[in-house]
Chain A
Amino acid sequence: MKENKIFTRRQAIATGLTAIGGLLLPGCSKPLPPTYGKILRMADLLTYTSQRALLPDQSLVKEYHYGDITSFPATGTTNPADNKLRSNSSEEYGRLQKDAFAKWHLSIEGQVARPGKYSIADIQKFPSRTQITRHTCEEGWTAIAQWTGLPLGHLLESVGILPSARFVNFYAYDGWKDSIDLFDAFHPQTILAYGMNGRSLAIPHGAPVRLRVETQVGYKSMKYLKRIVVTDEFSEMLTPGFSWYAGI
């Protein structure tokens, strides 16, 4: 048998593709956020890393005028106290709702110097931020509303996150769990919102306090907040199947 010594274009391309594949593989074992292994998730990771690398630091999303406020559908959980839900916190939410969330507390724990519990009054003592922004749902619809709340960055500075901290995890009364990185957590428009369109946040929209992550798609803006845990490790907690990073 005679060996073909000529390095054809086709072989060159095949070798090149194999080499690129080899370069991609180590990326799968790094402790980076989204889950790998799954082919579909690799593109979400690519979107995440390239947006972090290429986009300028902390640009603000477009803010609108008061007259631009539109009708706003409430989707997903619209009341965690609904007995249809299987969340363990459902009953507790029902009780809190009865006295207008006077006994509600947001707990902050994990990699922080001063863990604690914050009532609505405590949260409202911080300087607030009001912004009129567009909610972009992954389903394809959009809506504009005015949100008032405490910038998450202020709260994280006040509890003193430890140098090892990398992710902020959120737990909700409807059983939803999710996390964002510190880049988005310290974005000036990432707020813990307690007001919507000049009124207290209504139950269908996440009362008493919801997250607003304006640089990502709607499902990252978690409603019905219960607990915040700052961690040094990423753990995928979102409902399986949905991309962890949704800046696109």
Chain B
Amino acid sequence: MKISHWIITLSFLFLTYSGYEILMVHPRLYWGEVGNDLTPALFELPISRNYKHGGWDESVPFFDNAESPVSSSRTINIFNENGWGRSLHFISAWFLVITGLIYLITGIVSSHFRNHIWLKLKEFSPRLFLQDISAHFRMQVDPATNGPQYGLLQKTAYTFVIFIVLPLVVITGLTMSPAITAAYPFLLDIMGGFQSARTIHFFASVILEIFLFVHLFMIYKSGFKKNIRFMTLGK
């Protein structure tokens, strides 16, 4: 379990790095199946010189009507490091998916999820949650317990990341593959199209990055050395 935690961490850092590079190549996000420099974007991120997508020839309509879709030629060389960016993204994704599956199976078989990660029925109490939330606001963090005696919000955050956000990021990633959606077109239907999958992929990764920062902050607050020692040597 601990080794898979670190392999997943490393893959995630490489995925974030290469994912950022891939986003720099086309820093516009859309909804639906289609989005490109000639169609309106949901929003555009001010990263890389490809921001504001300039450098296009005059538009030529495909059909003889006013609303006809158009064609236009790109006249500038854009920033594009996808040659290594995509390959680094996919090699890290392989590590994440294979290790993630081993982690999930081990977690279920060893009852780790049931004993330590999932909330118990009696813990679904607004009073307990309010207590934990107010403790967090007052920055009262219990020292690490050298073992998984996790708090309520902590368990909720882990469950959300392990069982919702990480699977979502993998499924939306697969939805962007032309060969995989040829075999399983329902992926495009449930995600609402290729560009929707890309946008969800982006937001899911942002949630994971926020989780990483909060996670690191909590580790620091509850005793950095002790936590790291527990997650590596196990003592």
Interface residues of A (CB under 8 A from B): 13, 39-44, 46-47, 51, 55-56, 59-62, 64, 68-75, 78-79, 134, 136-144, 196-199, 202, 204-205, 214-217, 239-243, 247-248
Q: How far is the CA of A166 from the CA of B120 in the complex (A)?
A: 57
**Given contacts A62-B181, A69-B69, A136-B194, is CB(A141)–CB(B36) below 8 Å?**
yes
A54 to chain B minimum Cβ distance, whole angstroms, is: 9
B25 with A46: CB separation less than 8 A: no
**Given contacts A56-B183, A69-B69, A241-B84, is CB(A248)–CB(B177) below 8 Å?**
yes
Provide a sorted-by-A list of 20 A–B residue pairs whose CB atoms are within 8 angstroms.
Answer: A39-B91, A40-B91, A47-B90, A61-B178, A62-B188, A68-B33, A70-B34, A71-B72, A72-B70, A72-B71, A73-B72, A134-B33, A137-B26, A138-B82, A140-B22, A142-B195, A216-B179, A247-B177, A248-B90, A248-B180
Q: How far is the CA of A215 from the CA of B177 in the complex (A)?
A: 8
Q: Which 6 A-B pairs give the minimum distances between C-beta atoms?
A: A241-B83, A247-B179, A43-B91, A140-B26, A71-B38, A141-B36
Interface 0/1 of B8-41, CB less than 8 Å to A: 0000000000000011011010000111111100
Within B34-56, the residues touching A (CB, 8 Å) are 34-39, 56
Contacting residues, chain B, for A196 (C-beta < 8 A): 62
| Closest B residue to A54 using CB positions | B183
A134 with B194: CB separation less than 8 A: yes
**Given contacts A43-B91, A134-B34, is CB(A140)–CB(B73) below 8 Å?**
no
Contacting residues, chain A, for B25 (C-beta < 8 A): 139-140
Interface 0/1 of B65-83, CB less than 8 Å to A: 0000111111000101011
Q: How far is the CA of A2 from the CA of B184 in the complex (A)?
A: 58
**Given contacts A71-B39, A142-B33, is CB(A199)–CB(B62) below 8 Å?**
yes
Q: How far is the CA of A137 from the CA of B178 in the complex (A)?
A: 10
Contacting residues, chain A, for B212 (C-beta < 8 A): none
Contacting residues, chain A, for B80 (C-beta < 8 A): 139
B74 to chain A minimum Cβ distance, whole angstroms, is: 5
A13, A72, A78, A142, most chain B CB atoms within 10 A: A142
Q: Indicate which residue in B28, B90, B185 contacts A62 across the interface (CB closer than 8 Å).
A: B185
Q: How far is the CA of A242 from the CA of B86 in the complex (A)?
A: 9
Interface residues of B (CB under 8 A from A): 3, 22-23, 25-26, 28, 33-39, 56-57, 59-60, 62-63, 69-74, 78, 80, 82-84, 86-88, 90-91, 94, 176-183, 185, 188, 194-195, 198
Contacting residues, chain B, for A39 (C-beta < 8 A): 91
Q: How far is the CA of A89 from the CA of B23 in the complex (A)?
A: 34
Contacting residues, chain A, for B62 (C-beta < 8 A): 69, 72, 196-197, 199
Q: How far is the CA of A102 from the CA of B195 in the complex (A)?
A: 39
| Closest A residue to B87 using CB positions | A40
A178 to chain B minimum Cβ distance, whole angstroms, is: 14
Contacting residues, chain A, for B59 (C-beta < 8 A): 71
**Given contacts A70-B34, A138-B86, is CB(A205)–CB(B71) below 8 Å?**
yes
| Closest A residue to B185 using CB positions | A62
B22 with A73: CB separation less than 8 A: no
Q: How far is the CA of A123 from the CA of B146 in the complex (A)?
A: 72
Q: How far is the CA of A141 from the CA of B188 in the complex (A)?
A: 15
| Closest B residue to A64 using CB positions | B33
| Closest B residue to A203 using CB positions | B73
Contacting residues, chain A, for B176 (C-beta < 8 A): 136, 248
A139 with B87: CB separation less than 8 A: no
